[in-house]
Every structure is written in C-alpha cells, then in structure tokens.
Amino acid sequence: MKIFLLGGTKDSTNIIEHVKKNYDAHILTTTTTEYGARLARDAGSDDTIARPLLKDEIEEILADGEFDILIDATHPFAEHITQTSATIAKETKIPYIRFERPTTNLENVETSHIHYVSSFDEAGKLIASDFDSGNVLHFAGANTMADIVKYVPVERFYPRILKVENSLKKCDELNINPDHIIPMTGAATKEENIDLIEKYDASVMITKESGEIGGVIKKIEAANEKDVAIIMIQRPKIEMLNKNDIVNDLKELEIKIEGFLKK
C-alpha cells in the first residue's frame, strides 16, 4: 500500500507511526517546512517533501507514484490545501481521507474569558477596540501575524512561533522586535502559559480553535487563572469536504483504510 500524506501536524506523525506499525505501507509525507519533514522521518515516513506544493505538483506526484490512498492530515486551519486535496481526490478518483482532529470539548471548562471571532482580521479589530492596554500573546502561527499588527502596535505584540527562516523573515518584514519572539517547541502546559502571561505582561492571548492536541484547554486554563482575555478564531468550514471522508481518530482511520483495502 502506498500512501500520500499531507502532514506537518502532530496528527500526521501519529498517523505515520500507527500505519507503519499495522500495515505494510510506503508513506510519502509532504510538509511546508524542513522541521515538519524531519518529524515525519523520525516517525517513520519513507519519503518526505519539505515545501508547499501547488495543485498541479500534487497531481503529478499522485500520477507518477501510483498511490493507493491520499490522507490529508493538515492543520484544521489549512483551508486552502484541504480544499485542494479534496478537489484532486474527486477529479482523480483516488481514495481520500481527511483526518480532522475533534473540536475542543469545553463542557467542563470555564469559558467566560473567551471571545470568539471568525477571522484574524476580526481579531485584530477586536483587540484594537476593546483591549487597548497590556500586551498581546499571539499563539496562532507566523502566517497570521500580519492581520493582527494591522490594528495592534508591534510594541505590544509577542508571537510564539517556530524559529525557522520563513517565520523569522515574516517577523522582520512586520518590524517585530526579535526580543518579542517566543520560540515554540510544541504545545505549552498551563504553567508555561502562565509564565508567558506574567513575563510579557499580557492582557490578551490569541489562539486558533485547534483542538486539545493544539493545547487550547491549557491556554484557557492559564487565561482563567491570570484573568486575561482569549481571542479564539473559529475553524473554517470547507464546502468541498464530504462528511463521509472525515475521520477524527486513529480507530476511525483504520476502519476507513480497511474499507479501501477490501475494494
């Protein structure tokens, strides 16, 4: 079995480990960074591609590689690549699985500090109008910073990002002080988030609704304890996705793969 895996997430490395353990499978994983590719190789991926791919490049790889399954395990907010991969799968009739981590269960979590918005532009406007004092912790990736600093002074802005060339270049282009950059090495604990709030005198935290695996609950708990606001960007809805193509955990993924193998 040959699998083309769109990765770059913790979900994708979990998938690689699970598939390699349970199947005789060759996996090619694509990520947008060398860091993500290294994690994929460490998890057991046979081959990796460490750069963003255009639609025609994905189509060419699928055609030349004779892959059996396309698995999209990109981030819930990687709307464009999910839309693209679902379209390609439909056009080429390759079996397709969208691995989508469940939304965060907040049933037993205090949510009074959360302010929901539908975009980063909306988040920037909300901070400018309602939170004009204290600093801003940005826990939502380098690609989304520009939409915030359109409205929030860079003097107040502290992004937690991977210290890779592309992200650092974005910070430089936005005139973000290097001393404001917080290195990211994985999801932070509640205590680590509290330390960041205190160290940078933050009044606001920005995060995506990226699920428990993205550390959302730990951010909320820290915000509750320190009485700071959380601006939470809600997940985009992707029209091309068929709900029957979506799985939320490794057991559901296994059932889906088994179904394809029997055909």
Domains located in the chain, CATH noted: 2-102+238-262 (3.40.50.720), 114-233 (3.40.50.10470)
pLDDT for the residue numbered 214 = 67
* Single-letter residue type at 239: E
Helix or strand or coil: residue 188? coil
Residue 34 CB contacts under 8 Å (≥ 6 apart), including other chains: 50, 164
Better-predicted residue by pLDDT, 65 or 114: 114
What tokens does 214 get?
């993205």
Alpha-carbon span 84 to 31, nearest angstrom:
15
* Single-letter residue type at 10: K
Write phi, then psi, for 5 (nearest 5 degrees). Answer: -115, 120
Alpha-carbon span 260 to 70, nearest angstrom:
11
pLDDT for the residue numbered 162 = 85
Please write the tens of the pLDDT for every residue from 2-56: 999 999 988 999 999 999 999 999 999 999 889 899 999 999 999 999 999 999 9
Q: Are the C-beta atoms of residues 207 and 216 closer than 8 Å to each other? A: yes
Q: Are the C-beta atoms of residues 235 and 103 closer than 8 Å to each other? A: yes
In the chain, % of residues over pLDDT 70: 98
